[in-house]
Amino acid sequence: MSPNSTNTESNSRSEQPLMAPGGSAPGKLRIKWLLWSLLGVVVLVFASAIAWRWLSPRNGQTALAVIGVAPHYRLVNQNGKPVSSRDFSGKIQIVTALFPYCRELCPLVAANLAEFRDNVVQASDLKGHVVFVFFNLAPADADPAEMRTFLKQYGWNSEDPELQFLTGSPEEIRRVVQGGYHIAYYRTPGEADVTDARFQINNPLADRVKPGFDIVHADTIEIVDGQGRIRKVFSEGARLDDNRLQSTIEPLLAIR
């Protein structure tokens, strides 16, 4: 055999692809690798979808910042039963402060929240996860019986376990409401000026008691998550619509 023919044979062998034992094994391994890769992608996408569903804010809402920590307390509710702030662990709290003899914004706030409970909370995923916590701004004057009367006037059942209208000593209420939730209020002599009929709300309790004083305060509503953290403050609670309140609360359902 000539040197040239030897070189030609050597070159032709070098150009042939190398084969592993079994011939087609590399192809099978490649297919298996592709299948496992595809399965991994499917699992990753599925896990991401679940994480997004449960951990991300709902309804396109941005995550709510933690504004502060709600105060701790032991007070008495509208039925004379002791209530602790720890009783609300794991619950979303809708918090506001009410003056039972009010003829202006308090009746509107109370009535609007009663409708929100009936029309939204009871008919959605919020049911069983929300508690309404009100504070009595006239603790030295309005007793639990009058607090129950006020609630009934504006659509509430005083036996509702998801409602807590709380009272205590004037000092303790001020510590919680003004010091803890930063809702300022003060007492003035004489009843509120209700000569402007646009702001006059019928309050039979006030008509009967004739308190002779007024409590000036904002109609603030605050949202507290299941870990006792203040997450949202609405400065005009009487104008707060159901959709806005619901979309604020729903992302907090994942927080326990």
Best CA proximity match to 88, nearest among 98, 73, 106, 99: 73
Residues 130 and 166 in one domain: yes
Task: Judge whether 62 lies within some domain.
Answer: no
Tell me which of 21 and 66 has the higher pLDDT: 66
Task: Judge whether 165 lies within some domain.
Answer: yes
The model's pLDDT over 91-136, given as tens digits with 9 standing for 90+, comes to 999 999 999 999 999 999 999 999 999 999 999 999 999 999 999 9
pTM: 0.74
Residues 158 and 42 in one domain: no
Tell me which of 68 and 12 has the higher pLDDT: 68
Question: Dihedral of the CA atoms 165, 168, 172, 174 (nearest 10)?
Answer: 50
Is residue 53 scored above 80 in pLDDT?
Answer: no
Q: Which parts of 117-189 are beta strand (E)?
A: 130-136, 163-166, 185-189
User: Range of 32's domain?
Assistant: 26-55
Residues 149 and 45 in one domain: no
Task: Judge whether 7 lies within some domain.
Answer: no
CA-CA distance, 176 to 67, in Å (whole number)? 16
Q: Give the CATH number of the domain where residue 217 resides.
A: 3.40.30.10
Q: What percent of the chain has pLDDT over 90?
A: 68
Is residue 87 scored above 90 in pLDDT?
Answer: yes
Residues 75 and 173 in one domain: yes
Task: Judge whether 246 lies within some domain.
Answer: yes
Last residue of a domain, one of 34, 55, 76: 55
Is residue 163 scored above 50 in pLDDT?
Answer: yes
Q: How many domains does the chain have?
A: 2
Residues 72 and 48 in one domain: no
CA-CA distance, 132 to 114, in Å (whole number)? 9
CA-CA distance, 185 to 95, in Å (whole number)? 15
Mean pLDDT of 215-224: 95
